[in-house]
Amino acid sequence: MPLLFSYGTLQQKAVQLANFGRELTGTADSLPGYVVGEITITDARVLRESGKAVHPILRFTGNMQQQVAGVVFELTEAELARADDYEVDDYQRVMATLTSGMRCWIYTAKQEQ
């Protein structure tokens, strides 16, 4: 089953119920080499589900001294696809290695092409 690192609204019970139909349980971990920035959300569905107009977004720095705290969730493939649908176009899903050594998916700022 896929693992997903969450540092923001996917940790909210209401967002989990709206997207996965269940409340998730996870394990605390951290992601080195990133900081958290902010983006303004305009997608009506995401605004309704999260209740927030400003969401956190990971920004890669490469500085391994910088770390972002979060939670690792185990999802089904279908749930991971629903998480993809929830995240707006400013995000991209990529594989990363956490402080624990665990490999999982993260949503980070989309890189300019």
Domain limits, the chain: 3-109
Instruction: Examine the pLDDT at 112 and tell me if it is beyond 70.
Output: no
Q: What is the pLDDT of residue 111?
A: 78
pLDDT averaged over the chain? Answer: 95
Helix, strand, or coil here: 27? Answer: strand
Class of residue 60 by CB neighbours under 10 A (exposed 0-12, middle 13-18, buried 19+) = middle
Q: Which one-letter DSSP state was computed for residue 11?
A: G
Q: For 37-71, what is each residue's pLDDT tens digit?
A: 999 999 999 999 999 999 999 999 999 999 999 99
**Mean local confidence (pLDDT), 22-43:** 96
How would CATH label the architecture of 3-109?
Answer: Roll (3.10)
Residue 105 backbone dihedrals phi, psi, to 5 degrees: -80, 145
What tokens does 61 get?
């720095």
CB 109 within 8 A of CB 7: no
